[in-house]
Chain A
């Protein structure tokens, strides 16, 4: 044991520089895993701490409409019978706010919440300047607003704002409040008013998008029972019932999934490092043959020597992992606040479990990858130290001899038999175990055996392809070996000579390119899809909740403003699919419906007698000349994936009335052209004439900021219940969210890039030690430094180009799969990016190859030869 420790330390003294790059790579991967897992675990524990504050109640009932009187009574009876300790009711809706001062030409969309005196049941409402929240602040036409709204409207605390038909005094600034949604999309800043006031300002008319929320305080003991009871009771009315625990679980599940996926990215980096460790170990063992032989000659057993090298790898892996953890510990507190949910109790820092997991993955992966090549030391024969034997039989590493080799058995069969017999069983068994362990590690990191296996399979695929490419390359360049140009001839010989580095470099660079370009391509495709640009003539404002009696006044208003392209008002209704082809769809609870995503959720539908300009019919006819007794409906082609087809009979629930309609056409909607909106269901006019509906307005608002603000203010002043969704505002919000995602992707991509670079430098530096000797000999026989440099450049550029090409092909495939199959977006090949990457990688490898070999070019041959 003492011997093993001492030898390990002595050897490390000499080799740590050569192995540095690979363990840095491991460090980056470990750091990434630890940091990503830590941040998400920080968020999770903060959510667990604040679960009640997030839901603002133990049990939350939520619906889009006020409960019918009968149902309400039944709910009240259930609540009275149960042990309910507190009950707060609120209404949330998106609406417009403008300053009461007519001189200020501004209007903003906000998320209005009307709360009662019991609010909040849990958590605290935080106000600016340390003011304490009481219901008196909002009672009697008072409002609490977010600081940004003051700036947007140009008002200050104490001034008045108009919401709907009511005028409110701003009585304080809202910093945070219980019950807000995390990281989700919002139409605007929160405004808090009294629920009683909200009901009086004429906002909640037919079709208004509002959420009616009842929060309950219930002791933990009776929580589950009450939750089930209410769910059963409210299921048909589309009221969601959720406890703080199920909310926490749901968020927790989502976070766990993202934690696992992000860790998988980290794991891929560690594996890249591992591939580096594997290749460096292989070369390392070859360079150590003599030392191993000497040790054996001096009486060391194979096990002892193996232990020395495994200990070395383990020590470096531990040090590398520790470096990674240190990097993560430093980086995590600097994660920008915008990248994590806005939680009060969140403390960013490395967590023990993340650190242990990441460190474990780093050390295990390094050891696993080093093990197979290290097993070679068992086969080193001390005999190679005796000059003529070694020279004549070139027994660098002795393969196990096949039994009865040389017996006359014909051709391929004999060769196959020999090959089979030459396989070292121990090495084969260990290799299988290592692969199984790696799949296990991947599955552990992904939290799913399927994903883990898929990732491992991807790696194996790329590895095999690169390996095949290497063999092909060696064969293809063979003819060039007879070239008369010395550097080319020797570059070719270097690529194909025994014990060459072709495979190692191809693997390292190829895998690096594959992963980095893959991430970049996915990123570029995502960004392209998400970079929503407004076309110059596209509508940029939507009016919601225009009532039937407001259609003519709104049109008149638009005429007065001389809008480009006028205004288009479309009748819309809310409809829920309750049955298809006669079979009833069990609508289930709203949560179930949302999760299932099938057709039985609520849709906004319209009716018209023509196709919109962004639509075309792909099947059937809009509308058939013969109108049957059953109303006609046209579906969007995406609904076909849910099993809807031409001729199906669909039953809709529209405001409590069930209407059956037959699918007589299928349309394709160009969703990127929102000029005429997009509807999954379009009815033939007539069928819905009697049903209650409201109008959706589509228009292009004045482009100039001031005119736009005045337009919005005048509109709101004239039609207080109508909300104007400013697409430009929404796009800004969306782009802020997208830029956060982009940041995350870029950080991960950057880390991958750094890993790839390290592997490349490491691989080249590794081969340098072989090159030194050859270069010395070439120089001795008269080659100039420039010739040797050209030789190296040709060799590395060729290897780089091939590796990059294979890697890039894989990356295209990967990015296609991720973009189209996972994100469900359209994929586009980016030839510039791909070609550019190949060129950069090829010449990068060439440059790194030559630069890392400066020593080779500069050192005097004699020193090198003597050292050998």
Chain B
């Protein structure tokens, strides 16, 4: 479960404060899938980054799986992330100097896991890339890179999976393949899944859709019913 209490984000831009996110409250229950949608610059990725502890909120508290992360040190948040959160990026962000398998092994090794290679191979099998284990990212197609990234995100079997435009950089077919994988994983492992996306088809499959506009939640859609939120 992820809980945000009165979370806001303001940055300095050219000497002036710029509000990216206005104070908002949000609860994502365990096992739920939620899609955050909205135009560019509406604050979607910032919101996702805050949930992952990649950034600190200007105000408010964030509680991830029962742990309040706002007051934690950067390294402590990193450890928590390694344990509880898997992250998938639009641009895959695989480490170019590592093979597919090694990329998947990194989070397991970071936690001191002994069976990293074995688990890494199993995860690559789960995303259908058994034969590509020893290829470097530059030798893989975009779809394949994203599947490796997904396998890496699942490496420590995290209860929470966050994805930032996971299909934004893929063609329709590869995009669908990745979406199918994401939801299959959700179904199999009952993970909490938060997606930032422009992809209507992908957003449609989520339990909840959160529409962001100018740093505020404009609308919340839940399995057929839509609630306008005024903030």
Binding site for B on A (CB under 8 A): 2-3, 6-7, 10-11, 13-15, 290-291, 293-304, 381-383, 385-389, 392-393, 401, 405-406, 866-867
Q: A294 to B95, Cβ gap below 8 A?
A: yes
CB distance from A310 to the nearest CB of B (A): 17
A-chain residues with CB within 8 Å of residue B46 when the two chains form the complex: 386, 389
A-B contact pairs, 5 of them (CB 8 A): A2-B109, A297-B54, A297-B93, A386-B49, A393-B11
Q: B109 to A388, Cβ gap below 8 A?
A: no
Q: A291 to B78, Cβ gap below 8 A?
A: no
A-chain residues with CB within 8 Å of residue B79 when the two chains form the complex: 299, 301
- Count of residues in B whose CB is under 8 Å from the partner chain: 45
Determine the residue in chain B with the shortest Cβ distance to A304: B110
Compute how far the CA of A387 lies from the CA of B13 in the bound complex, rounded to whole angstroms: 17
A-chain residues with CB within 8 Å of residue B52 when the two chains form the complex: 297, 382
Top 4 A-B residue pairs of the complex, sorted by shortest distance between their CB atoms: A299-B82, A14-B97, A301-B75, A3-B109
Contact indicator per residue, chain B 36-77, by CB within 8 Å of chain A (1) or not (0): 000011000110110010110000000000000000001100
B-chain residues with CB within 8 Å of residue A381 when the two chains form the complex: 54-55
Q: Is the interface of A mostly helix, strand, loop or mixed?
A: helix
CB distance from A306 to the nearest CB of B (A): 11
A-chain residues with CB within 8 Å of residue B87 when the two chains form the complex: 297-298
Q: B17 to A291, Cβ gap below 8 A?
A: no
B-chain residues with CB within 8 Å of residue A7 when the two chains form the complex: 106, 109
Task: Tell me, yes or no, whether B112 is within 8 Å of chain A by CB.
Answer: yes
Q: B54 to A383, Cβ gap below 8 A?
A: yes
Q: A387 to B90, Cβ gap below 8 A?
A: yes
Task: Tell me, yes or no, whether B144 is within 8 Å of chain A by CB.
Answer: no
Q: A302 to B75, Cβ gap below 8 A?
A: yes
Task: Tell me, yes or no, whether B164 is within 8 Å of chain A by CB.
Answer: yes
Determine the residue in chain A with the shortest Cβ distance to B82: A299
Q: Is the interface of B mostly helix, strand, loop or mixed?
A: mixed
Cβ 8 A contact of A299, one of B83, B97, B98, B138: B83
Compute how far the CA of A389 lies from the CA of B52 in the bound complex, rounded to whole angstroms: 14
Q: B138 to A867, Cβ gap below 8 A?
A: yes
Q: A387 to B91, Cβ gap below 8 A?
A: yes
Q: A382 to B110, Cβ gap below 8 A?
A: no
A-chain residues with CB within 8 Å of residue B82 when the two chains form the complex: 298-300
Compute how far the CA of A300 lies from the CA of B79 in the bound complex, rounded to whole angstroms: 7
B-chain residues with CB within 8 Å of residue A291 when the two chains form the complex: 95-97
Task: Contacts A298-B81, A389-B45, A405-B15 known; list 15 others, CB within 8 Å.
Answer: A11-B97, A296-B78, A297-B54, A297-B87, A299-B79, A300-B110, A301-B79, A382-B78, A385-B91, A386-B45, A386-B164, A388-B45, A392-B41, A401-B12, A406-B15
CB distance from A613 to the nearest CB of B (A): 77
- List which B92-106 residues lie within 8 A (CB) of chain A: 93-98, 102, 106
CB distance from B153 to the nearest CB of A (A): 9
Contact indicator per residue, chain B 99-137, by CB within 8 Å of chain A (1) or not (0): 000100011011110000000000000000000000000
Compute how far the CA of A302 lies from the CA of B12 in the bound complex, rounded to whole angstroms: 25
Task: Tell me, yes or no, whether B152 is within 8 Å of chain A by CB.
Answer: yes
- List which B148-200 residues lie within 8 A (CB) of chain A: 152, 156, 164-165
Q: A386 to B97, Cβ gap below 8 A?
A: no
CB distance from B164 to the nearest CB of A (A): 6
Determine the residue in chain A with the shortest Cβ distance to B83: A299
A-chain residues with CB within 8 Å of residue B49 when the two chains form the complex: 383, 386, 389
Cβ 8 A contact of A406, one of B16, B83, B95, B138: B16
Determine the residue in chain A with the shortest Cβ distance to B42: A388
Q: A14 to B96, Cβ gap below 8 A?
A: yes
Counting chain A CB atoms within 10 Å of each CB, which of B98, B112, B156 scores highest? B98
Determine the residue in chain A with the shortest Cβ distance to B158: A299
Determine the residue in chain A with the shortest Cβ distance to B111: A299
Contact indicator per residue, chain B 12-41, by CB within 8 Å of chain A (1) or not (0): 110111000000000000000000000011
Determine the residue in chain A with the shortest Cβ distance to B48: A386
B-chain residues with CB within 8 Å of residue A290 when the two chains form the complex: 93
Q: A299 to B109, Cβ gap below 8 A?
A: no
Q: B54 to A298, Cβ gap below 8 A?
A: no
CB distance from B132 to the nearest CB of A (A): 16
B-chain residues with CB within 8 Å of residue A11 when the two chains form the complex: 97
Determine the residue in chain A with the shortest Cβ distance to B40: A388
Determine the residue in chain B with the shortest Cβ distance to A299: B82
A-chain residues with CB within 8 Å of residue B78 when the two chains form the complex: 296, 299-302, 382
B-chain residues with CB within 8 Å of residue A10 when the two chains form the complex: 97-98, 102
CB distance from B139 to the nearest CB of A (A): 10
B-chain residues with CB within 8 Å of residue A296 when the two chains form the complex: 74, 78
B-chain residues with CB within 8 Å of residue A2 when the two chains form the complex: 109, 112
B-chain residues with CB within 8 Å of residue A867 when the two chains form the complex: 96, 138
CB distance from A239 to the nearest CB of B (A): 75
